[in-house]
Structure 1
């Protein structure tokens, strides 16, 4: 007696953002990006974009990004690739875009470095250089919904705090980190240099002389 296993060839249709087989009913993937409130009820479908998922999930882990941001990165990357944007530039733009629309404070340089690390490289680029690349990509896309606005000093403030949080909490505790956060936020209102420098200055001026050298090194 032989055993025959019937394999469904999957006739795919889209139902409310899901890629579903019309014959067997299996959910093969997702087209919609989950909102923040839906992050616990959506999983990323692997159908058709495993290469994007691998890079996005690795970057998200190192940048400490939530699940819904990974979905945004994947979906945006796929859309950009259809506009003849290279995969690397698509992933870079999509990650920055995801961080902006979900209000996740991350720096351009850190995002680019993680993208390079995911491919085994360790190349650093300045913020100005990255902004030029983003502008070129934006011109190719030419869609308002994919626009990335300039960062203000409060975004930099949150991003820099995210970079130093682990060091401060490990060495001085959560309460001291909260003190730095609130004190530097108040100082930031009265500092009017460029956005990045203002945020760094506010944080450093709120840090003790013992911690300041290490914090300055991290924020360099």
Structure 2
């Protein structure tokens, strides 16, 4: 039996003045712009930074977020930790913030669940519970740049479609999914209940009676 040792080839990113491997999270050095002597930049420590990146990368992979969102999550969560916000909630807030500013439709409860899963937990919280946590964080931050605007019905519409896309395409094909997308978007314009319910109603009303129970269960 032979033992194979794999070595990371290090794909480097410059984050807050530190060169970090995007794959393994190891801090490899520092840039000249923000030196190691800059106590404000490096107050969380290099191991803390690598851990932020590792968690953000896992979240991005599980939530299917683009690479540039990881950079936003890491930078934002580090700033929040400097304001005495716990790492877990700093990353939660930063991920939701990144999705908002980059216009990536993701549900609050799904983001929280993935964050819990990354720590080996299986706790799901409702959207209202997550919002309460975000409000507490917002009060601590008190900075305009970190304001998270409440999602509109169109945001929910995109997020719910993203959640059911794989199932609909597998069972009925891409053309049918596009039909649901188009129909539900047109219908959504005339529905004026709360944003989340409006989006669900539009999608369910645009789905066949055969598939509706499964879609309703997923969106519940």
TM-score with structure 1 setting the length: 0.80
> Which residue does 1:190 correspond to in 2?
190
> Which residue does 1:61 correspond to in 2?
61
Structure 1 stretches of at least 4 aligned residues deviating more than 3 Å after TM superposition: 17-20, 27-32
Q: Residues of 2 paired with 1:121 and 1:91: CA distance?
A: 16
Q: Residues of 1 paired with 2:32 and 2:177: CA distance?
A: 40
Q: Residues of 2 paired with 1:186 and 1:52: CA distance?
A: 41
> Number of matched residues?
187
Q: Residues of 2 paired with 1:31 and 1:190: CA distance?
A: 55
Structure 2: runs of 5+ lacking an equivalent: 1-13, 20-27, 34-45
> Which residue does 1:158 correspond to in 2?
158
> Which residue does 1:217 correspond to in 2?
217
> Which residue does 1:125 correspond to in 2?
125
- Contact 1:204-1:212 at 8 Å conserved across structures: yes
Q: Residues of 2 paired with 1:191 and 1:84: CA distance?
A: 41
Q: CA deviation at 1:18?
A: 5.2
> Which residue does 1:75 correspond to in 2?
75
What is the SS of the residue equivalent to 1:124? coil
Superposed CA RMSD in Å reads 2.3
Q: Residues of 1 paired with 2:76 and 2:32: CA distance?
A: 11
Q: CA deviation at 1:124?
A: 1.3
Correspondence 1:1-220 to 2 at 5 A: 19=18, 28=29, 49-220=49-220
Q: CA deviation at 1:19?
A: 4.4
- Mark the structure with the bigger radius of gyration: 1
Q: CA deviation at 1:28?
A: 3.3
Q: Residues of 2 paired with 1:125 and 1:194: CA distance?
A: 19
Q: Residues of 2 paired with 1:130 and 1:141: CA distance?
A: 17
Would the alpha carbon gap of residues 209 and 91 (structure 1) be closer, same or farther in structure 2, given more than 3 Å must change? same
What is the SS of the residue equivalent to 2:149? coil
TM-score with structure 2 setting the length: 0.80
Structure 1: runs of 5+ lacking an equivalent: 1-14, 21-26, 33-46
